Amino acid sequence: MPTVQISIRTRLFVGGGFTAQNLAELQKLKKRCKQVFAVLVCCTDGMVCLPYDELSQIIDTRGCEQAWVRAERMKRQWYCVSGAAGELVNKKPRGLEPILSALGG
């Protein structure tokens, strides 16, 4: 008789979008500030922080009113972040470390 092994993995996901107005505000901030970040709040799981340059790599607003972004991770793993224009090469840890580092903390 064959053995059946069942593996249950918890996948944590957050999806959201940026309107054209949201993106225009971020671009204005980018012109005035040295560093700009977007923080994706992932329900009760935590937050993942993206520098503006990385966010702009994955967002595609052509043909739609809202650009979507998705962050998902398996339990105890880093976030895989993607958007309509593709997926970030490196996974992202949970937390606000990039912002804290930029502030010198």
- Give the mean pLDDT of 54-63: 86
pLDDT for 19: 85
Q: Which residues pair with 52 in a beta bridge?
A: none
Domain map (residue ranges) of the chain: 19-102
Higher-pLDDT residue of 7, 70:
70
d(CA 51, CA 90): 13
Whether the CB-CB separation of 70 and 79 falls below 8 Å is answered with no
d(CA 40, CA 26): 14
DSSP 45: T
pLDDT for 15: 65
d(CA 57, CA 52): 9
- Give the mean pLDDT of 26-52: 87
Higher-pLDDT residue of 21, 90:
90
pTM recorded for the entire structure: 0.77
